[in-house]
Amino acid sequence: MNTSEILKTVFNSLRTNKVRSILTMLGVIIGVFAVISLVSVGSGVEKFVSNSFNSIGSNLLLVAPGKVDFSDDPAKTFTRNKLDEKHVELIDIYLKDKIVAVSPSIRLSSKAKYKTESHQATVVGGNYNYINIFDLVMEKGQFFSKNDEKTKAYVLILGANIKRKLFGSTDALGKYVVLGDENYEVIGVMGEKNQRFDDAIVVPYTSAVRTFDLKNFSGIAIKVKADENINLVLKQVELALLRDLKNTEFSVLSQADILKSITNILSVLTAGIGAIAGISLFVGGIGIMNIMLVSVTERTAEIGLRKALGATPRDIALQFVLEAISLSVIGGTIGILLSFILSLAVKSLIELVISTWSIVIAFGFSVFVGLLFGSYPAINASKKDPIESLRYE
One DSSP character per residue, 267-313 reads: HHHHHHHHHHHHHHHHHHHHHHHHHHHHHHHHTHHHHHHHHHTT--H
pTM to 2 decimals?
0.61
How far is it, in rounded angstroms, from Cα 192 to Cα 216? 29
Residue 155 burial by CB count (10 A; 0-12/13-18/19+): exposed, middle or buried? buried
How far is it, in rounded angstroms, from Cα 81 to Cα 83? 6
- CA distances 342 to 230, 279, 336, 357, Å, are 41, 21, 10, 18
Each of the 393 residues of the chain gets a pLDDT tens digit; together they read 566 766 677 677 777 777 777 877 887 888 888 888 878 877 777 777 666 665 555 688 989 888 765 444 444 444 567 898 999 999 999 999 999 999 999 999 999 999 999 999 999 999 999 999 988 999 999 999 999 999 999 999 999 999 999 999 899 999 999 999 999 999 999 998 877 889 999 999 999 999 999 988 999 999 999 888 988 999 999 999 999 999 888 999 887 776 677 777 777 777 777 777 777 777 777 777 777 777 776 667 776 777 777 777 777 777 778 878 888 888 888 888 988 888 888 776 667 777 787 788 888 877 887 787 777 777 777 776 665 655 555
* Pair 216, 77: CB distance under 8 Å: no
* Pair 218, 105: CB distance under 8 Å: yes
How far is it, in rounded angstroms, from Cα 154 to Cα 183? 7
Q: Which amino acid is at 372?
A: L
- CA distances 340 to 37, 40, 150, 298, 350, Å, are 9, 10, 54, 37, 13
Nearest to 284 by CA among 328, 333, 317, 334: 328
pLDDT value, residue 52? 64
* Pair 35, 358: CB distance under 8 Å: yes
* Pair 317, 381: CB distance under 8 Å: yes
Nearest to 24 by CA among 317, 373, 379, 385: 373
* Pair 190, 135: CB distance under 8 Å: no
